[in-house]
A and B are shown apart, each in its own frame.
Chain A
Amino acid sequence: MNAPKPVQRDAACVQGGPATPRLETPRLLLRPLQLDDFDAWAELSADAETMRFLGGVQPRSVAWRSFLFVAGGWSLQGFAPFSVIEKASGRWIGRVGPLCPEGWPGTEIGWTIARHVWGRGYASEAAEAATDWAFRTLGWTEIIHCIHADHAASQAVARKLGSSPLRTTRMPPPFEDEVVGIWVQSSEEWFARHKAATT
């Protein structure tokens, strides 16, 4: 039998885990997933409007697999989208942060916020904290965001974060039917606008 060959992945996508960072913003707490986040996660995953540009709704059993996938990223890659908690209420309101699954077009900062708290700037507030963490702690030199051409709200978040549209690309399976816009920003651009560490 042949010995397995080494994992050919960009070092940025394998930091070693597990990691359990906590980031705070004025209104939000960002931390890795916990089991009791799942009900709110499943509710978000079942909402057609929220999932419209994210592969469509997922029944609870499928949402569970996605939930474990993100938890596994924290465990083995040392990063993954954070659970975002609204400090005032203690509620789980979404997932925001770094992801770099196999075959992905780059090191992404992504965001998905529950519909009942849309319009409050939470995606931007969480994405800013996660982006700063990814550049400073993960040492990423570039972030991307994969955003559907019709997803104006998400494009606005990317623009506010300081990223710019670069090109379109087809996503890897199981999302191969999706063509998305790639938005991009370098760490140099980020640091030029955010000189002081926010920790």
Chain B
Amino acid sequence: MAEPELHTARLTLRLPKIEDFDAYAQMQADAEAVRFIGGVQSRSEAWRKFLQMPGAWVIQGFAMFSVIEKSSGEWLGQLGPWRPEGWPGPEIGWAFRRSAWGKGFATEAGIAAMNWTFANLGWDEVIHSIDPDNHASQALAQRLGSRLRGSGRLPHPYDDTPIDIWGQTREEWQSRQVHASTESSA
């Protein structure tokens, strides 16, 4: 399969490249940006995390996309399908630099990635593992149409972190997308 690349009004979603690393490392060094996703990482630790996404693209055939702002070419964050060993389900996950917050970028990227995931990976549902105090991510999950399913558990080394599982089925997603496209074309 050719490398997927998704386009929205303002964003390109593509596979990670090595030149994304500086922006990624900056995000991992920002305590506020990574408060609910493992905390601050030094640059050398961030590197080990950074390579996991391109690794998963090769090994599993999917992983989070790098989200690039078309107008500036800047790396804003990463979002997409993610299912590492021991994970509680097929996740659509995300992490964005703080400078990209509050502009609807994650929702815009999320819609594109949900469509791609359901069309290409054969998943019957998606989940989002979200810290109970992470209100911004909860709001994003809701905007994508997911609902709180209850508390869950992540594998080691995240097994001490309280986590809520949000999610929706493929049918729920597709029925709303049909409805939305009907509305927008009316």
Contacts and interface: CB of A to CB of B under 8 A. Distances in A.
Interface of A: 1, 3-7, 14, 18, 33-35, 38, 59-65, 67-77, 101-104, 172-174
A70 B42 contact: no
A70 B47 contact: no
B112 to A, nearest CB: 22
Contacts of A73: 51, 55
A1 B99 contact: yes
B19 A6 contact: yes
A102 B43 contact: yes
Given A6-B19, A7-B21, A173-B42, A71 B55 contact: yes
Given A3-B72, A3-B74, A173-B45, A76 B18 contact: yes
What is the interface residue range for chain B against chain A? 35 or more
Contacts of A103: 42-44, 47
B57 A61 contact: no
22 contacts: A3-B72, A5-B22, A6-B19, A18-B58, A35-B60, A61-B84, A61-B86, A65-B48, A68-B55, A71-B55, A71-B56, A72-B52, A73-B51, A74-B55, A74-B58, A76-B51, A101-B44, A101-B48, A102-B48, A173-B44, A173-B45, A174-B44
Contacts of A75: 51, 54-55, 57-58
Contacts of A62: 156-157
B22 A67 contact: no
A67 B72 contact: no
A173 to B, nearest CB: 4
Contacts of B34: none
B139 interface: no
A144 to B, nearest CB: 16
Contacts of B183: none
Contact of A68 (B45, B51, B75, B86): B51
Contact of B51 (A14, A61, A72): A72
B59 interface: yes
A4 B43 contact: no
A4 B22 contact: yes
Nearest to B46: A102
Nearest to B57: A75
A1 B52 contact: no
Given A65-B52, A69-B51, A71-B59, A60 B22 contact: no
B155 A61 contact: yes
